[in-house]
Chains A and B, each alone.
Chain A
Amino acid sequence: MKAIFGTTLITRGSMQRRLVIQLSLIAFLLSLLLFLIVQGVADRAASDTQDNILAASAISIADALYSEGGQVQLELPYSALSMLGTISEDRVFYRVNVDGTTLTGYDDLVVSARSDVSTQAEFSTFSYRGEPVRAVSVTRSVGSQSQRTLVQVVVAQTRLSLAQISYRITLWAVAIGVAFFLVATGLSLWAAHNALAPLNRVASAVTRRGPNDLRPVRAEAPAELAPLVSALNSFIVRLSASLARSEDFIAEAAHRVRTPLATVRTQAEVIHRSLQHSKNKSALREMIRAIDESSRSAGQLLDHAMVNFRADQFQAVDIDLRELVAETVERLSPTAELKDIAISVSDTGEDFAFSADPILLQNALRNVLDNAIKYSPPDSDILVKLFHDSNFHVISFHDQGRGFEGLNLENHFERFKRGSNVGDIVGSGLGLTIVNEVARAHGGHVKITSNKGEGACVSLFLPLA
């Protein structure tokens, strides 16, 4: 596109990059959320486990309370404390309080100030003996109906192993979060790439086309790209219509110019013959030369238009290249004889059957040969050879002219470009363009070799069946 319009596209951002960044951001937020959820849930589960065991311990102590002679007694169950040692190595503290005085256990352990009996265990976290502890408090009423005594059982445990578990969980949660983020980012890269793939496909379908290919784009595109593709196609239709119009215009113009030019030339010839004065005669010769040049240009413009048209609507017929060459040579022989140029044709005797548009091909051959004759010095030879080279029929035209100079060989195929050493010879610069386009329409190409001092060689390569 850049090359066609000759301007640099101003790009603002990249869809793919924006997609990836947005998806990565979302993945990051989700990872963070996942991390917090995993850590929260796991921490909760771990501390719930400790709470449950603490509650079981306190309840088993409360269940072992009994009243003896109005005195609250306790047979501390072995399991009440040993169960706390089963899952961790945390320190354990307990206190049994009757009417505000310690029955047994650690005197300085905090007891909640509750005075009602509740089936619910009451949890709290505080610092005891320099370490944070989780404590559960259970209140029981002990004794007969008449002599009720409120007893509070407190069991506390340090949280060292909980901290260790929490640390392990955090590590896991971080690992899970990071892994999730990496996977999600990878997937979003892939998704972004995939989402934009149809766009690239359409773009490359358009980029791959030849310069004259103005057919509508047929690449498979998702629904979202349909407006773009149809806009592009309608643009192509308008462009090709406009091109066709200008080609038509050129052909029409050339045709209209050529006919009156022929008349003018005939009249000039007549006048030239009747003139005596050599100065006038040479002026008129100049005029005839100019008319020739214009007429030839018009002819080539017409040829070019015709070549374009026929190349677009290519209709192949089986022909024999040998005949076609012979025909072309015969048609141009009179012109060559005027300059005493001998055209010799040689072929290798192989099969030169080819499927082509004969009018196009003849036009091309005529242009090459016409060029050769034009640039050959008088009294020289032009050698036309027909042979096979690997996969191609080759028709080469070898002259003894001045060769091609001062111009990249490729440039000869561009319209209106001519070599730097041809200023004195009539030419439009369209000849080789026509030849090249014809060769390409037939799937072949043109090769020019220029041997300085030995003339030029133009070879037409046409593919074997």
Chain B
Amino acid sequence: MRFFILAFGLIFSNFGVCVGFEIEDQRIYPAMNATQVLKVLSTADIASFDPLIKEFQTQNTEVSVNYTVASSAQVMTAIYDENAAFDLVISSAMDLQTKLANDGYSQTFISKNTARLPNWAKWQDQLFAFTQEPAALVISDKAFEGLTIPTNREQLIELMRANPEVFEGRIGTYDVRTSGLGYLFATQDSRNTDSFWRLTEVMGRLKTELYCCSGAMIDGVYQGKLALAYNVLGSYAENRLAREGGITIVPMQDYLTVMMRTALIPKTAESPHVAGRMIDFLLDENTQTKLAQTTGFPPIFGQIADSQKALRPIRLGPGLLVFLDRLKRKAFVRNWESSILQK
């Protein structure tokens, strides 16, 4: 898919960013009378973030925006290992963002809008959540003809066991080794339910396809390559569904992992004030009320549509560092590999 693995330094030498981490995409939004530049490093693809940036620029006409997309692991490499000079880092990998803040790679920002955030949506006044996005099960309507749609993980396991002919090779989920968000969802699942490992085991036996991103999985379901995709970002799926039918988003009723997209200003930021303005813009009441329409991101303020479900929001805080522990990660990935790859 969008794997433009570029020799970054050669092509975008004007960025002044050290060579090393891999980017997926990039766009520059020049301003008419630009006096300031805001360099954003984000895991969200350009298509979904584009309206936000344009709206931001109508309010801040003197700011041109350099928007760079990278995977959460590459974002970590850029900031943690290479001290790349970005003004704002936006990522869905809450654990990696927390580690950046915990290990002193971010700076404090306090404003009227950040003060409005509830305590669970910010950490240390350095990490700010501006969306809350549930992980969802996305199924192909065609593949599920004649099958009951599962509403919890036990039913999903039963269904897959009972219909291997439908699901063999047609299940998609994150490759936790490459996707930060996938790793976050998987580790939270392992915390939340004992059936996670059984689910992984069953998926493994059915030769599950592994993906880097939600978008690719949703594409797979649309194309009929996949019968279901597990732990897909619900917001992406809803975005697609709004344009094109053929899939169903199934909110799990045993529990629903909710991820918060977070922003932080790195210590290395060259224009932290402009970055602060962007955070204020993202948390602004106007932006928040229009957020779902313009980007498909559910806002941090207000309830998620399926709020009657058993929401299990991922809490910001040092607990998120646990699965980033190298031994813990090694053990988890080993277990996961042995289940999913049946090695």
Contact = CB atoms under 8 A, between A and B. Distances in A.
Contacts of A75: 327-328, 331
Contacts of A93: 102-103
Interface in A58-102: 73-82, 84-86, 89-93
A89 B120 CA distance: 10
Interface in B78-123: 101-104, 123
A81 B321 contact: yes
Given A103-B327, A104-B327, A130-B104, A78 B322 contact: yes
A97 B238 CA distance: 47
A160 B123 CA distance: 13
A134 to B, nearest CB: 14
Interface in B300-343: 315, 317-319, 321-323, 325-328, 331
* A interface majority secondary structure: mixed
B124 interface: yes
A89 B124 contact: yes
B243 interface: no
B327 A73 contact: yes
B191 interface: yes
Contacts of B124: 89-91, 160
Nearest to B328: A76
B322 A105 contact: no
B325 A104 contact: yes
A85 B318 contact: yes
* B interface majority secondary structure: helix
B322 A81 contact: yes
Interface in A139-159: none
A85 B101 CA distance: 13
Contacts of B319: 78-79, 81-82, 85
A277 interface: no
Contacts of A91: 101-104, 124, 318
A129 interface: yes
A78 B104 contact: no
Contacts of B318: 81-82, 84-85, 91-92
Nearest to A86: B317
A90 to B, nearest CB: 8
Contacts of B317: 82, 85-86, 89
A91 B103 CA distance: 7
Contacts of A85: 315, 317-319
Contacts of B102: 91-93
Contacts of A129: 103-104
Contact of A74 (B101, B103, B327): B327
Nearest to B127: A89
Interface in A164-216: none
A28 B285 CA distance: 51
Most A CB contacts (10 A, CB to CB) among B101, B104, B318, B319 go to B318
B205 to A, nearest CB: 26
Nearest to A81: B318
A354 B298 CA distance: 107
A85 B124 CA distance: 11
Interface string B1-40: 0000000000000000000000000000000000000000
A73 B331 CA distance: 10
A264 B319 CA distance: 130
Given A85-B317, A91-B104, A92-B102, A77 B322 contact: yes
A36 to B, nearest CB: 31
Contacts of B123: 89
Nearest to A131: B104
Contact of B327 (A76, A90, A130): A76
Nearest to B321: A81
B327 A92 contact: no
Contacts of A73: 327
Contacts of B101: 91
B114 to A, nearest CB: 13
Contacts of B191: 78
B317 to A, nearest CB: 3
Contact of A105 (B104, B315, B325, B331): B325
Contacts of A92: 102, 318, 321
B319 to A, nearest CB: 3
A91 B191 CA distance: 22
Nearest to A160: B124
Contacts of A84: 318
Nearest to A103: B327
Contacts of A81: 318-319, 321-322
B276 to A, nearest CB: 19
A131 B322 CA distance: 22
A226 to B, nearest CB: 70
Interface in B120-142: 123-124
A130 B267 CA distance: 13
A75 to B, nearest CB: 6
Interface string A93-129: 1000000000111100000000000000000000001
Nearest to B190: A78
Nearest to B332: A75
Contacts of B321: 81, 92
A131 B124 CA distance: 14
Most B CB contacts (10 A, CB to CB) among A79, A104, A106 go to A104
A79 B331 CA distance: 17
Nearest to A91: B102
A77 B321 CA distance: 11
12 contacts: A73-B327, A80-B322, A81-B321, A81-B322, A82-B315, A82-B317, A89-B123, A91-B103, A91-B104, A91-B124, A93-B102, A104-B328
Given A76-B325, A81-B319, A86-B317, 19 more contacts: A73-B327, A76-B322, A76-B328, A78-B191, A78-B319, A78-B322, A80-B322, A81-B318, A81-B321, A81-B322, A82-B318, A89-B123, A91-B318, A93-B103, A104-B325, A104-B326, A104-B328, A105-B325, A131-B104
The 9 A-B pairs with the shortest beta carbon distances in the complex, nearest first, are A82-B319, A85-B317, A92-B318, A81-B318, A85-B318, A76-B325, A104-B327, A76-B328, A91-B102
